[in-house]
Amino acid sequence: MKNYKAIGKIGEGTFSEVMKMQSLRDGNYYACKQMKQRFESIEQVNNLREIQALRRLNPHPNILMLHEVVFDRKSGSLALICELMDMNIYELIRGRRYPLSEKKIMHYMYQLCKSLDHIHRNGIFHRDVKPENILIKVVKNGLFNKCHQHN
C-alpha cells in the first residue's frame, strides 16, 4: 500500500472497509476495499470468488473495474484497488424531495440489466443486487451506473 495515500473512509461493511485512496504513481483516485479477514497465501487470495468474478467480468462498461490486488504475505492483509465511483443508488434517492425522472430510471435499469446479462453469461449469479450495491458516477451528460460484484 506504499504506492497509495489514504484520503478518507468511504464506508464499512461486515467483511471490509472502503477507503478513498490516491495513487502516488499516477495521481488518480481509487477505492480501496480493505478486507478484514487475514489470508495465508496468494493462492487463498486468488481463490476468492469476488476476485475471480471481477477478473472474469472485466472489462465491461457497467461492471466495477478492479485495478490491482494488493496482498501482504507477512501480515496476511488484502486490499482490492478498484475504480472510484461517486455514490450508490440508495444514497442518490435517499432524502430526495422529488423522485428521479422516468428517463433516468429507464437509463439506470437498462445499464443494470446489461451488467446482469454480462454477469449471467459468464456463469455468475450476483445474489445481492440492492440499491447499496449499484454504484453510480456523475458524468457530464447525466449519471452512469455500475453493478458492484460482492461474491
Contact call for residues 30 and 84 (beta carbons, < 8 A): yes
CA diameter of the chain = 51
SS3 at position 96: coil
Q: Write down the catalytic residue from 72, 86, 117, 128.
A: 128
Q: Is 2 annotated as a binding residue?
A: no
- Asked if 86 is an active-site residue, the reply is no
List for the chain the helix, strand, coil content (%; round to 5).
30, 35, 35
Q: Which positions are catalytic?
A: 128
- What are the binding residues for ATP? 33
